Structures are given as C-alpha cells and as structure tokens.
Structure 1
Amino acid sequence: MRVVAFGGGHGLYASLSALRRVTGELTAVVTVADDGGSSGRLRRELGVLPPGDLRMALAALCGDDDWGQTWSKVVQHRFRSEGELHGHAVGNLLIVALWELLDDPVAGLDWVGRLLGAHGRVLPMASVPIDIEAEVEYDGVVTVVRGQVACAVAPGNVQAISLVPADPPACPEAVQAVRDADWVVFGPGSWFTSVLPHLKVPQLAGALHTTAARRLVALNLAPQPGETEGFSAEKHLEVLREHAPDLTIDVVLADHGVVGEREELEKAADALGGRLVLADVAAADGSPRHDARRLASVLDEIFRGKR
C-alpha cells in the first residue's frame, strides 16, 4: 500500500507515527513555509528551505527500537545556551549540512533518513522556501498577514490563504509520489499553515486532482487557537472545499469526541464526495493528541476496506 501524507509540524508527526505502522511504502510531503525559530534563522541566514518540519517528519518515521528512538531524540534535541546556538535543533543543522555538501535537498533528506533508519521517505512540497499570506478578519476588518508565524498568532479569524510566490516549483519527487500512490492523507495539523498550503502549489495540486489514489482527511481533535478557534469539525471541511473546490475526498476520519452534530459532519463529508468514519483515535489521557497505535489500527482497516 503506497501512502503519501501531507502536512507539517506536530500534526504530520502524529499522522506519520501511525502510518509507519501500517505501510512500508510511505512518503511524507512537508510544507516549507516555516519562518520562525531555528528554521527561520537558518532560512534567513543561508537561504535554504526551512528544515524544522522536515526534521520532525523524519523523527516521526524512526522505529521503536533503541536505534530509532535514540536518533529520534538526537535530531529533536535543541541546544540551550546564552550564545548563537541557543534554540537550534541538532537535526536542523544536520539536514542543512547535507544540503550544502550534496547541493540537493532531496538527496540530503534521503541520507538523513538512512542514518535514522526511517520507515519512509520525507520530501519538501516545493523546491524553494515559501511564505504564507493570510486574510484575517478582526472586528469586521480584513487585513493581510504574511509569514507562517504571523498567520498562526494573528488575532481574529483566518479567512483564506495564498502563497508567495504564487506558483512555486513543486518537488518533482513529491509530484511523482502522489501520482503513484494508493492513498493520500491530509491532516491532522494546523489547517491554514500546514494542511491547506499543499493545495496551493499548482503542480502538486494538479497531481492531487488527477491521481488514481483515494483521498483521506483526518480531522483535528480540537480547534487551534489563533488559526481555527471556534471551528467545528464540519467547518474544517468547508474551508478545505473553499480552497480546493474540485478536489474530491473519499474518507473523512474523525474522533467521536470532536463531533457535535453528526448529521452536519456527514453532510460536509458528502459535499466533498466522501463518507464519514468515526473512531476512537484520541490519546487515552484526554489530551488533544492522537494515539499512534489507535490511529494506525483504524487507518489499516480503512485502507483494507474493512471500515
């Protein structure tokens, strides 16, 4: 089963932590819009793709053995100091070093993947760094905010996003992975800054619209303050449809706990051409995060046509 997962940050980490238990043919396509923290500093100083979300995806693909868990901790480790290294993640520096040595972002990520024993491949969604521009409504006034960090923390409600540049070159390997896939998975994750940007890269969006793969959306367990505060589960699907009106979805996966009116969520899924699957995929401790093993079990049943 060839699966391609889209997203970035903690949401994609959750998705990949589950999917690596389901298939040996897994590709992560990761947003490259981060402009904050260690990634933003490296992006501004060296002109490279922001490595942070790519690093997190690689860490999520590490196995459960000592090798995988040790390397996952190493690449996620951040320096703490009073100097220039403060806040930098080891994995970010490792990835950028390989990019400089190999002069090939994809080859560099593949090398890191082999070092980590990653159960899958990690690719950037675009070959150049991008910025996200968001239309944000606050007190009846709509303003345009630029930058992933600014979009995530701007007061008000995000209405829509666009990319700068508007037509970034897609990573060719990512486009091919989508064309070859059996399933593509969107979410969970920051809806406007991690999930929807993939649909705004023309070449990648074209492959997503024409692939023979089936498409699944995994909904978040809670709205995200600053981006989707006040959003119902169905509102997430409505926004997805607004940004990609011609994209059909086969399955919408949601945890029982996020559903307000089941009928409304079913209508929103149906409007995208899909069916709703409800399952217990949240962590048992009540926190708004997915349990990797529960999510893996449900995804496996969906992929095999048993749910």
Structure 2
Amino acid sequence: MVARQSSSRKRRKSHPRVVVIGGGTGLSTLLRGVKTYTPDITAVVTVADDGGSSGRLRKEMGILPPGDIRNCIVALAEEESLMSSLFQYRFQQGEGLKGHSIGNLLIAALTDISGDFLTAIRQASKILKIKGRVYPSTTEKVVLLAELDNNTIVEGQSRIMRSEHPIKRVFLRPGEVSPVPEAVQALMEADQIIIGPGSLFTSIIPNLLIPDIAEAIGASRAQKIYVCNVMTQPGETNGYRAEDHLSKLLEHCPGLTLDIVMVNNSPIPRRLREAYALEGAVAVDFDSSRLEEMGVEVILKDVVNFSNFVRHDPLKLARVLKRLTEPERSAPCPSLGK
C-alpha cells in the first residue's frame, strides 16, 4: 500500500524531479529532451519485451530483457559519444552474435557477474556517466498477455504487436507483481510524471499494471502528463484517436489520475502520410472537447520531427514540458479522480 504524499513536502527549487514511464524508442526519445532541462530524472521501464536480442537473452540466460533499459541508458548519457555508439552497435553477422547489440550483451554479462539485474544497470549507467537513474518497473519475470476482441488470448509482447484483431485488454502473468521500490519512491517524490509516448499496450500499460506503480502515481502530488503518440500503430491502435488512448489507459488502471494530455497538432506532410498509409498507420486525430470532458487539460503543440519517419522531437517536447514546470504551472491542474 502506497501512502499519499504529504502536502508539506518541499519541492526542489533548482530543478524539477521528473519521472518518465514507458519503453521502446518513444521513452528514449523523451529522455533525450528531458535531460536538457533537469538532471534529476528517473526512467521507469517495462520488462515485458520478448522479441529480438532481448528476447533471446531472456530465454537463453534467464535474465530480464535489457533492450529498452539499454536505450534509456544511452539516451541519458552525458554525451552520445563513441561509447554510446558502441552500446548501440548491433552485430550484423556471426553465429550466435547476429542481431545482438553490445549494450545488451554487456548488461547480460554484468548481471551474470554481479548476480543482480539492478546492480548491472547501475554499473552500465556509470560507464556512460548518465544523468539520472534507470529502473525496471519490476524485477520479476513477467509475461504480457492480451485478450482480443474475438476472445482469444495471445501470449507474448512480440506476438501481441502482430495481432490481427483489436486488443480488448492486456494483463500480466503472474498477476501479483512487486515493483522496484526505488521506482515507487521516485514517483512519490516527483514534481512531474510523464507517461509515454510509446506503444500503448506493449510499452506503456505493462508498467501501470503493477498495482503499486499505478497507486504511487495516484498518490503523488506531481504534475501528471500523458504524451500521446503521433501515429497509430498497426496491430495495437488501429484507428485510435487521442481519446481512445486515454480511455484505454484509464480502463486498465482505474485509480490512475492525469492532469494533462499533450497531443501533436502539426500537420503530417503528404509524402509521409502516404508512406505510413501503406503500412496501415495514420496520424492520431483528437477532439479537444471530448478530452476535456474526461477531466484533463489538453495541450496542442507542434512536437514532431519529420525526416523519413514521423517521430516526436526531443527538443520540441522538452520546451513544452519545461514550461509546465515553471512556477505559475507548478500546482497540479484539475485532474481525473481529484
């Protein structure tokens, strides 16, 4: 049980305490921006991944999947130097090596040497001299499952992402999972909690299915922000609007409270819309009035970078998020459940 934070808690005046929650490339993109306005960062990362290099290490060595953890460590590095590039280097050939990144193998080796995944993360973080801290949401070996709209159950994050039927809900096995205590403590002490962006069902919600994590967010006096995805994700959020993303978050986590939903309002260039449409993805649309009726403040901003892909821009995100920590915005907005 998480105790509600005392209203007398003193906030740091020098810089805000920020906790980000999620996984995948969305979380590492966000971290690259957040580290520009505060060094006091905690990343709480999903460990439900079972695909690629992480999945192989998980199966062969019995460790937690290191991939999303590795990406966060690199994103929080003081500077993305040669050592950072080395962490991200992925072998293109070699029996047993092809597909593995050096960072994943290093975290696996540090886990084997120390006998502890959290110790391995701390040691890898020291190597890159990161700003902040990175924690898995749990150190238990969880499996993500999904119930589809045809009532079938799909097991495993990588299979869920390829679902041909809409996802009704996701859940963890085992159902009762303990969080990493340091992650809960960081949430309770935070000034700003940011959820997303990232794959809704396979990167974000798995963290919030851990009861003490969701409860700590609800009890925290932090400003709570959901950064909505820019594009829908085939197999997960086909046809989803921003309101649908928020609705699914609340459906899976009834005690969750949010203050702000940030949605991109910059038009997607035609060439990119057409390229994404070939893969079944479209820009996430929104109805501000409906979102406000759900009890959140809606912030519409251009927070996207356009290249060959549509991605959140770390610096654009950081500018908006930093302004939300300024004194006139320090008090929580009217939020769900308050």
Q: Deviations over 1:133-189 (max 9, x none)?
A: 11112xxx2211010000001112111110011111211111111111111110000
Residues 1:95 and 2:118 aligned together:
no
Name the CA distance, whole Å, in 2 between partners of 1:266 and 1:160: 26
Q: 1:116: Cα distance to partner?
A: 0.6
Counterpart of 1:57 (choices 72, 77, 80) is 72
What displacement does 1:212 show?
1.7
Q: Figure out how many residues of one structure are paired with residues of the other and give that number.
A: 298
Pair 105,259 (structure 1): closer, same or farther in 2 beyond 3 Å: closer
State whether residues 232 and 284 of structure 2, in contact with CA within 8 Å, keep that contact through their aligned partners in structure 1: no
Matches within 5 A, 1:167-246: 167-246=176-255
Matched residue type, 2:37: V
Equivalent position to 2:297, from 275, 289, 293: 275
Q: Deviations over 1:39-73 (max 9, x none)?
A: 11111111111111101111111234xxx332221
- Where in structure 2 are the equivalents of 1:55-94 lying within 5 Å? 55-64=70-79, 68-94=80-106
Q: What do the CA deviations read for 1:192-223 (whole angstroms, capped 9, x no partner)?
A: 00111111101212211211212100010100
| Aligned with 2:137 (options 125, 137, 140) | 125
SS in 1 for 2:198: coil
Separation in 1 of the partners of 2:77 and 2:35? 9
Cα distance, 1:269 vs structure 2: 4.3
Which position in structure 2 is the counterpart of 1:23? 38
1:2 aligns with 2:14: no
Work out the CA distance in 2 between the residues paired with 1:182 and 1:24: 13
Note if contact 1:62-1:71 (Cα within 8 Å) is conserved in structure 2.
Answer: no
Contact 2:172–2:206 (CA under 8 A) maintained in structure 1: yes
Contact in 2 for aligned 1:238/1:268 (Cα 8 Å)? no
The one-letter amino acid paired with 2:296 is G
Higher helix proportion: 1
Structure 1 position 13 matched with structure 2 position 28: yes
The question of whether the paired residues in 2 share the 8 Å contact of 1:266 and 1:275 is answered with: no
Instruction: In structure 1, list runs of 5 or more residues that go unmatched.
Output: none
Amino acid in structure 2 at the alignment position of 1:289:
R
Aligned mates of 2:90, 2:135 — CA distance in 1: 23
| Structure 2 contact 19–190 (Cα < 8 Å) conserved | yes
| CA shift for structure 1 position 118 | 1.2
DSSP 3-state at the match of 1:179: helix
Which one of the candidate residues 29, 36, 50 is aligned to 1:35?
Answer: 50
Q: Secondary structure at the match of 2:246?
A: helix
Whether 1:298 and 2:313 are equivalent positions in the alignment is: no
Aligned amino acid, residue 183 of structure 1:
Q
Tell me the TM-score normalized by structure 2. Answer: 0.84
The residue type equivalent to 2:251 in the other structure is E
The one-letter code sitting in structure 2 at the alignment partner of 1:131 is V
Q: 1:185 to 1:302 in 2, by over 3 A?
A: same
**Distance (whole Å) between structure 1 residues aligned to residue 306 and residue 94 of structure 2:** 38
Residue identity (%):
40
Structure 2 contact 139–180 (Cα < 8 Å) conserved: yes
Which range moves more in the overlay, 250-259 or 24-33?
250-259
Contact 1:237 1:269 survives alignment (8 Å): no
Whole-Å separation in 1 of the counterparts to 2:241 and 2:221: 30
What's the CA shift for 1:303?
1.7
Give CA deviations for 1:5-43 in whole Å, capped at 9, x if unaligned. Answer: 001111111111111112110000000011111111111
4+ aligned runs moved over 3 Å, structure 1: 257-261, 284-287
Q: TM-score, normalised by structure 1?
A: 0.92
* Residue of 164, 174, 183 corresponding to 1:155: 164
Which of 301, 311, 326 aligns to 1:289? It is 311
* 1:83-134 CA distance string (max 9 Å, x none): 0111111001111111122222222211111111212211000011211111
Query: Which amino acid in 2 is paired with 1:298?
Result: V
Partner amino acid for 1:62?
Answer: A
Contact (CA 8 Å) 1:62, 1:118: kept in 2 or not?
A: yes
Please tell me whether the aligned partners of residues 190 and 227 of structure 1 are also in contact (alpha carbons under 8 angstroms): yes
Aligned partners of 1:229, 1:169: CA distance in 2, in Å? 32
Query: CA–CA distance in 2 between the matches of 1:116 and 1:306?
Result: 35
Deviation at 1:284, TM superposition (A): 4.0
Q: CA deviation at 1:245?
A: 2.3
Give me the CA root mean square deviation.
1.6
Query: Structure 2 CA distance, aligned partners of 1:306 and 1:143?
Result: 49
Offset of residue 79 of structure 1: 0.9
